[in-house]
Structure 1
């Protein structure tokens, strides 16, 4: 505990799901946390309240990470509120399934504006304020390396994230800033529940979900959001001081 004492962290998309658990975990480790949300103000305030009830400090700031001006305002407001920024966790993302012939330019813009451009400009805005020892953590996905039917657009956006951290590492390393990505596998969130059937191979759709996951993950289960949050907390802590440019799979040994 308290590995992140005196640190200030922003977690984008942290009003629910994995982002919520990341915000709670970083607070448990001593960080002051900015809970970012796009539209779920009530849920964001609930996360802030939970952190405060546990003795931590947090504030909620609205921003749509597909809009560059709002990203810049998010970071500026965070620094104004807490006086510094040490950790940026880019968790926001949107899902997409669609056959090749059905993908539209609007689909591409929606997915890449959040999953790629949003994460790039979140890193850019954060880097302007991070000191030596600062940390940036972006979100990729196991989908970047494991083929799934009709998942091309989403997978391509997440592969781009891994390419970004790999190439930003030496540039930011000159300033003493580490940048990495996490690539979660199947995780028990509301988004996963909504799309679980779409991740299933057509030949396995008649099988129970628990049976299907046993054919996909070595640990034979989905991750809990808290497990992903624990990996994030490690990557932004001093325990990971010699890791940069990497995409760490937290996927239960998916195959």
Structure 2
């Protein structure tokens, strides 16, 4: 039986790399996107060109009705759901003293409420043998200035994931969080000058930025063969500390 994966934020960046990797591993993929239908359709076309199966569905991850419809679409198109990768997220950077509280609310709506909404629907739909992979960030350990609000929202994800893993006892469903370090995506690169990017790249012993494919490799393992990893946060950052 073909495994079926729902990937939120699957039209760009790390989510896109995850969708492509899971499809290459033989999973049917439902790509949830928030804004750009053209970007999502391009990922679907790329998967189809390589012989895989994929569809794109627009969904606000913090809207429970939209997320229920997303899972309905997965079940109608492919017969069920085995893997949920919640990669959708918002990052707003600011010193705490200057934080725009409306921006804080917007980020927490997607990053915290969105995780609850997506994970809640996943627990109701996902089949035995399945996996839930949430996304945190290595910045929860690095404690860099201007990241307080973003780090706080992702620390919540790290708290949610192991508790949900325990709540799913007896169902053979794993729940883990992946915490990337600096990764060469639009989300990370936007607004940074070349010197900042180079300095950041050298923070880890590998002396480079991560790639979306580096992160997707770990997600693919958690979404497939790595059944004995459960309730963990996996830091995928080249050794930055």
TM bracket (short chain): over 0.9
Deviation, 1:207, is 4.4
The structure 1 residue matched to 2:175, chosen from 167, 175, 179, is: 179
Residue 209 (structure 1) aligned with residue 205 (structure 2): no
Structure 1 unmatched runs, 5+: 198-205
Aligned to 2:147: 151
Mapping of residues 224-235 of structure 1, within 5 Å: 224-235=211-222
Deviation, 1:28, is 0.2
CA–CA distance in 1 between the matches of 2:220 and 2:191?
Answer: 27
CA–CA distance in 2 between the matches of 1:195 and 1:168?
Answer: 36
Deviation, 1:213, is 2.2
CA–CA distance in 1 between the matches of 2:158 and 2:211?
Answer: 23
> Which string of whole-angstrom CA distances, capped at 9 and with x for unpartnered residues, describes residues 54-82 of structure 1?
01000011101122211111111111111
The structure 2 residue matched to 1:85, chosen from 81, 87, 96, is: 81
In 2 relative to 1, CA 196–253 (structure 1 residues): closer, same or farther, beyond 3 Å? farther
Q: Runs in 1 of length 4+ with deviation above 6 angstroms?
A: none
Aligned to 2:40: 44
User: What is the total number of aligned residue pairs between the two structures?
Assistant: 241
Residue 28 (structure 1) aligned with residue 24 (structure 2): yes
CA–CA distance in 1 between the matches of 2:57 and 2:199?
Answer: 41
CA–CA distance in 1 between the matches of 2:91 and 2:41?
Answer: 24
CA–CA distance in 1 between the matches of 2:38 and 2:164?
Answer: 35
TM-score normalized by the length of structure 1: 0.91
TM-score normalized by the length of structure 2: 0.96
The structure 1 residue matched to 2:205, chosen from 208, 215, 218, is: 218
Secondary structure in 1 matching 2:178? strand
Secondary structure in 2 matching 1:173? coil
> Which string of whole-angstrom CA distances, capped at 9 and with x for unpartnered residues, describes residues 206-231 of structure 1?
946324421x1121110111111111
CA–CA distance in 2 between the matches of 1:230 and 1:130?
Answer: 22
Query: Which has the higher mean CA deviation after the structures are superposed, 66-75 or 137-146?
Result: 66-75
> Which string of whole-angstrom CA distances, capped at 9 and with x for unpartnered residues, describes residues 158-182 of structure 1?
1110110111111112322110010
Deviation, 1:246, is 0.3
CA–CA distance in 1 between the matches of 2:205 and 2:78?
Answer: 42
Structure 2 unmatched runs, 5+: none
| Contact 2:200–2:209 (Cα < 8 Å) also in 1 | no
The structure 2 residue matched to 1:243, chosen from 229, 232, 235, is: 229
CA–CA distance in 1 between the matches of 2:119 and 2:85?
Answer: 9
CA–CA distance in 1 between the matches of 2:23 and 2:172?
Answer: 24
Aligned to 1:111: 107
| Contact 2:63–2:117 (Cα < 8 Å) also in 1 | no
Aligned to 1:192: 188
Aligned to 2:157: 161
Deviation, 1:156, is 0.5
In 2 relative to 1, CA 163–54 (structure 1 residues): closer, same or farther, beyond 3 Å? same
